[in-house]
Amino acid sequence: MQGRSRPALLLLTAALFVGSGAGCDRHARHDVLTFFFTGVPPLDEGRAVPEKAKAAERKALVERKRSAVKATRFSHGPYAASTCFLCHVTSETGGLRGGTKESKTGGSTARSGVVPGALVVPLRELCIRCHETKSPETARKEGLWVHGPVGAGECTACHGPHSGPQPSLLLKKANESCRDCHGDGFLFGTAMHEGKTDCLSCHNPHFGKSASLLAAEHRETW
C-alpha cells in the first residue's frame, strides 16, 4: 500500500508546487515538471511555431502592401533610396522609413528634441538644391520669364515630392494640371487653344523667353 501511494504523493507534491508561488516563474515550473515526469517538452518548443507564424504573417502583409502600389507610379530618387534625411530633419531617437541618419557629407543630421519630418530648409529652397537648372535665380540670370508656381517655389503644386502617377512625378496629366489654373474661361476658352490637349507640345512648364513660355522660342533643358 505504501509503495502504491508514493507515486500519488509525488504527483500531489508536484501539483501543489506548480500551483504555488513558484508556479509564477515559467522556468521554475518547468524544472519541477521535468524532475517528476519524463517526456516534458523543452521550454520554448511551444513558442517556436507561433513566432514562425507571426513572421510569415508579417511577410504576407508587406507583400500585400507592395502589390497595392501601382506599377505605373514613379518614385522620387531620394525617396526610393530611403535617403529621407536629404529633405527631412531626423531626431536622435529615429529617422524616417528606417533610413540612415547620415548626411551627404557623412555628418549626422540628428538634432536633440526634434520631431522627425520637418523640412531641412523651406520648400522653395529645397527642390533647387538638386534641381538647380529649375531655380528662378538661374532663369533670371538668363533673362527668362518664370512661371508663377516656379517663382513662388511651389513645386509640389504640380509634382509629388515622393512619388506620382505620371512621369516627372506629376500629380496628374500635364494638361489637367494646367487647367487647374488656366481654366476654360481663361486660356482654354480661346480659339487658339480649341481642341488642344497637350500643353507641353507648345509651352515650357517652368521658363520661357516671353510670358507665354513658348517652347519654339526657348526649349527647357532637363
Tell me the per-residue pLDDT of 119-150, one tens digit each, with 9 for 90 and over: 889 998 999 999 988 999 999 999 999 999 99
Residue 209 one-letter amino acid: K
Mean pLDDT of 51-68: 66
Q: Which three three-digit cell numbers place residue 18?
A: 506548480
Q: Which three three-digit cell numbers place residue 132?
A: 538647380
Mean pLDDT of 207-211: 93
Has this prediction a pTM greater than 0.85? no
To the nearest 10°, the Cα dihedral for 86, 87, 92, 98?
-70
Mean pLDDT of all residues in the chain?
74
* Beta bridge partner(s), residue 102: 108
28 CB burial (10 A radius; 0-12, 13-18, 19+): middle
Confidence tier at 93 by pLDDT (50, 70, 90): low
* Contact status, residue 153 vs residue 160, Cβ threshold 8 Å: no
Tell me the per-residue pLDDT of 28-51, one tens digit each, with 9 for 90 and over: 776 767 766 676 677 665 555 567
Write down the pLDDT at residue 72: 53
Write down the pLDDT at residue 107: 42
Tell me the per-residue pLDDT of 158-204, one tens digit each, with 9 for 90 and over: 999 999 999 899 999 988 888 888 876 667 667 788 778 888 989 99
Strands (DSSP E) along 126-222, which ranges?
Answer: 145-146, 163-164, 207-208
Confidence tier at 64 by pLDDT (50, 70, 90): low
Confidence tier at 97 by pLDDT (50, 70, 90): very low
Domain ranges of the chain: 2-68, 124-208
Write down the pLDDT at residue 10: 56
